[in-house]
Amino acid sequence: MSNRIILLGAPGSGKGTQARHLAAEWGVPQIATGDMLREAAAHGSPLGLEAKRYMDTGGLVPDGMVVGLVAERLARPDAKAGFVLDGFPRTVAQAEALDRILREPGLPLDRVVFLDVSRAELLRRLTGRRVCRQCGAAYHLVSAPPQTSDRCDACKGELYQREDDAPAAVARRLDVYEKQTAPLLAYYERGGLLAAVRGEGAMDDVTAGIRQAVRGTGAA
């Protein structure tokens, strides 16, 4: 059985962790846009080098270029038996482009899984991060707390909250994500591919819910 899966979820939903775990379990590649852009640039492909020019100047890589890189990555032999797309597509236009990419070799998607996490939990996860000013070590006040709330365990440097982890900044990121993703979820629901899985609770329980959804026996 093939596993051609998309994992969708807001920042902080845990989709990257679940994608890595399931890709390893199924023996298929995890394809995450950020990793893919960096890999393509390192390999020196024409699209990768073009994308690198945007990344080096802090610019946003154009939509068409990201789609081209996804097509390039999905054409590799290791993706023929399946893949886990992590956080792509982000828009209906990207989803339509992905459908075209997969239609030609006759490799349709099996399932699109949305990790459903409450906004309150996402805020808790994303605003709890603290970083050491001195050595850069990262902590989380709930899931990986330091021994002393404002000091690094390793070097005793001061811990601080980055600007993009502040509650107002996180709330803005979530607003953008929700606005962007609602039409995408509707698109896949109309296609009969969408399954929502509760993304809160123990990691193993979430993984089991994704497995169940992929088998088509219902969502958690």
pLDDT tens-digit readout, 158-206: 999 998 889 999 999 899 888 888 899 999 999 999 999 999 989 999 9
Which residues on adjacent β-strands are paired with residue 132? 159
Spell out the CATH class of 3-29+76-214: alpha beta
Active site residue 172: no
Residue entry with tokens 């068409």: 64
Query: Comparing C-alpha atoms, which of 7, 63, 17, 11 is closest to residue 175?
Result: 11
Peptide bond into 89 cis (omega under 30): yes
Report the alpha-carbon angle 194-170-48, nearest 5: 65
Residue entry with tokens 């890589």: 61
Residue of 38, 90, 124, 211 marked catalytic: 90
Predicted model pTM: 0.82
Residue of 76, 100, 103, 162 marked catalytic: 162
Distances, alpha carbon 45 to alpha carbons 55, 75, 98, 102, 199, in Å: 15, 14, 20, 21, 36
Q: Which pLDDT band holds residue 220 (cuts at 50, 70, 90)?
A: very low
Q: Given this model, what pLDDT does residue 127 score?
A: 95
Residue spans per domain, the chain = 3-29+76-214
Residue of 15, 73, 111, 130 marked catalytic: 15
Cβ pair 134, 158 in contact under 8 A: yes
pLDDT tens-digit readout, 47-56: 778 888 877 7
pLDDT tens-digit readout, 20-57: 999 999 999 999 987 877 787 788 878 778 888 877 77
Q: Which pLDDT band holds residue 111 (cuts at 50, 70, 90)?
A: very high
Active site residue 125: no
Active site residue 129: yes
Residue of 80, 119, 173, 211 marked catalytic: 173
Active site residue 133: no
Active site residue 173: yes
